[in-house]
């Protein structure tokens, strides 16, 4: 073969080798791309799904905001009271009362609990405004029942629906349910129509849960005059009840201070003002109740305070202790 033929053969072989190398590189590149897709695809899909889930959760939170009910603070009055009557023996063996630990406390309870009230012995009516509020009301109810006592709860009508379960539990346990108006308005500043609305709406809300109308109303801020008494009587046939001992629990928010304030002032026949909105009040009741029992006090509702002593709570009349005393 001459030189020109040999050169042509070499050139052909070179082109053939380069073609094979390019083919191999092409398949190698495709293989690498395939491996990357196999490894990366699940991670990409997982990231996309995770981001979609977070977006859905944020969207749901925007449309389902949490409901918060804030306590109502109340201006209060203070009355002085008369000397105590004869003492009676405690009705509970346990020296202390413990707060409720189980949800069952909201669904059980025995009306009266075999209680016998002696009209000739000391008694005190513990009353609670501005509720109901389950975490606090539940503890108060359990403490009272542990010492065979009962309380009176002046509830705000627009809270009844949100806390209907604890309200029904309280009523079923023999405690007295009364009204503190529909939305805690100063009745002295309302028209006749405004007072009627505050009274009737609250009564309807309470009856829808416990099956009967309340018979007592506590005017917000203790604000009452002759006109308010008449309008409350006309609207709902209710008697009005204020208080003779103010715990100032809304101000102190300290259990020991609340207990001392009450124990330093309480006398036979007093009606004590507290609020079942604050954890400090629930704690105070757990300390207060055994102290009152040790002092010989029977823990009664406002209605029991009057009926066991042969007195009446007539519609349109105002009461703050029994016997009335010189206040």
Q: Which residues form the catalytic set? A: 129, 275
Query: In whole angstroms, what is the distance from residue 252 CA to residue 247 CA?
Result: 9
Helix (H) or strand (E) holding 245: strand 245-246
* H or E stretch at 176: strand 176-179
Q: Which residue has the tokens 């009627």?
A: 196
Nearest Cα neighbor of 265 from 243, 286, 283, 285 is 243
Token pair for 226: 């002759």
Distance CA 246, CA 218 (A): 14
Query: What is the distance between the alpha carbons of residues 257 and 147, in angstroms, rounded to a whole number?
Result: 22
Alpha-carbon gap, residue 293 to 286, rounded angstroms: 12
Instruction: Answer whether 300's CB lies under 8 Å from 249's CB.
Output: no
Residues in the chain: 327
Residues 6 or more apart whose CB falls under 8 angstroms from that of 12 comprise none
State how far the Cα of 154 lies from the Cα of 175, in Å rounded to an integer: 11
**Which of 300, 320, 96, 309 is closest to 219 using CA atoms?**
320
Q: Go through 180-207 and write b for each residue having 16 or more CB atoms within 10 A of its CB, e for each that does not.
A: bbbebbbbeebeeeebbbbbbbbbebbe
Q: What is the DSSP string of 81-117?
A: -PPP------S-S-SS-----SGGGGT---SSTT---
């Amino acid at each position: 073969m001459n030189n020109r033929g040999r050169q042509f053969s070499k050139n052909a072989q070179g082109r053939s080798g380069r073609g094979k190398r390019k083919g191999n590189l092409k398949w190698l590149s495709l293989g690498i791309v395939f491996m990357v897709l196999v490894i990366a695809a699940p991670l990409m899909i997982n990231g996309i799904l995770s981001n979609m889930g977070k977006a859905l959760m944020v969207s749901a939170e925007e449309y389902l905001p949490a409901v918060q009910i804030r306590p109502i603070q109340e201006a209060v009055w203070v009355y002085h009271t008369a000397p105590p009557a004869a003492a009676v023996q405690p009705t509970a063996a346990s020296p202390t009362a413990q707060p409720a630990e189980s949800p069952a406390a909201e669904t059980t309870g025995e009306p009266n609990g075999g209680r016998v009230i002696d009209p000739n012995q000391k008694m005190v009516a513990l009353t609670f405004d501005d509720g109901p509020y389950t975490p606090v009301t539940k503890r108060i109810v359990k403490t009272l029942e542990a010492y065979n006592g009962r309380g009176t709860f002046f509830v705000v009508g627009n809270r009844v629906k949100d806390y209907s379960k604890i309200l029904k539990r309280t009523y079923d346990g023999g405690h007295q349910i009364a009204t503190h108006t529909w939305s805690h308005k100063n009745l002295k500043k309302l028209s006749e129509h405004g007072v009627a609305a505050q009274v009737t709406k609250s009564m309807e809300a309470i009856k829808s849960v416990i099956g009967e109308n309340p018979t007592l109303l506590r005017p917000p801020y203790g604000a009452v005059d002759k006109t308010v008494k008449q309008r409350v009587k006309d609207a709902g046939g209710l008697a009005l009840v204020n208080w003779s001992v103010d715990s100032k629990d809304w101000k102190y928010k300290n259990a020991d201070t609340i207990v001392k304030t009450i124990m330093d002032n309480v006398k036979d026949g007093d009606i004590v003002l507290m609020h079942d909105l604050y954890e400090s009040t629930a704690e105070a009741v757990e300390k207060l109740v055994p102290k009152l029992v040790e002092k010989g006090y029977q823990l009664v509702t406002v209605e029991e305070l009057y009926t066991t002593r042969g007195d009446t709570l007539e519609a349109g009349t105002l009461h703050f202790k029994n016997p009335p005393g010189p206040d």
